[in-house]
Amino acid sequence: MQFLSLKIAQPEIQQLNCSSQGIYPAPHLQWSTEPPLPLQALRPITRMAADRSGLYSVRSSLTMVGSSANYTYICTVNASYGTQTWKASLRKKEDMTGTVGQALTIPCFAPRDMTNFTLTWTFMRDQQPSTILTYSSGTKEMNNDWSHQARVDKTQARSGNGSLRLWNLMNQENAGTYTCTFSATQSTHTVLTSISIISTAKGMNGICTFIACKENNTCVPVKCKETYPSMLVPTM
């Protein structure tokens, strides 16, 4: 088996895809959630095929149920004889909002049974991914490309707390999707969090407004209180 991939393929409809290839003999793929949902609520569509060498590829998709922030989705692939198991899990957390110039902590925790892992934080804006940092629980080494603005506590990370601390937030530069991935030999756990950034300003009448920046590079004014007619600010 070459890999097990679990990702959000179509964000607009919250579709999850789980796939793998190069497997022999024919594998068994199963979906589950935490907390548990009945399988009939998930309604996955799974396809499997063998190539000319007799190696199998498997692909399964489903649509997230209700609020995606309420569940961790788990895709498990077992070898036919139960000799090996691969697992990939994904959770899309509730959106968070930070304020320009302030600090923000994005939570992320490894599954309790995961050991000897690599932690990777990435940032996505305008469909352009970039690596923030990586940490190995085995070597205890960390490579931080955002050392000027982000950190993970090494001591906490060793025990599975990979929460990312950001400081001195900026408008468009820090608005986007932050992805935390714990990777071990036969398992991965991914957490996605979308971050919007706001800045506060005072109008002539002393009533505050917000400038909110989102992942798609748009920054718009948002009312936080009714202003005078001549000072009305569009609402998001």
CATH number 2.60.40.10 is the correct assignment for the domain at 93-236: yes
Rounded CA-CA distance 106/93 in Å is: 10
Per-residue pLDDT tens digits for 49-81: 999 999 999 999 999 987 767 899 999 999 776
Domain boundaries, the chain: 1-92, 93-236
- Tell me if 173 sits within 8 A of 183, measured CB to CB: no
Rounded CA-CA distance 187/145 in Å is: 25
Q: Which CATH superfamily is 1-92 part of?
A: Immunoglobulins (2.60.40.10)
- Tell me if 194 sits within 8 A of 176, measured CB to CB: yes
> What does residue 171 show for φ and ψ, rounded to 5 degrees?
-60, -95
Q: Which residue has the higher pLDDT, 25 or 139?
A: 139
Per-residue pLDDT tens digits for 129-172: 899 999 999 999 999 999 999 999 999 999 999 999 999 998 88
Whole-model pTM: value is 0.83
Same-fold call for 1-92 versus 93-236 = yes
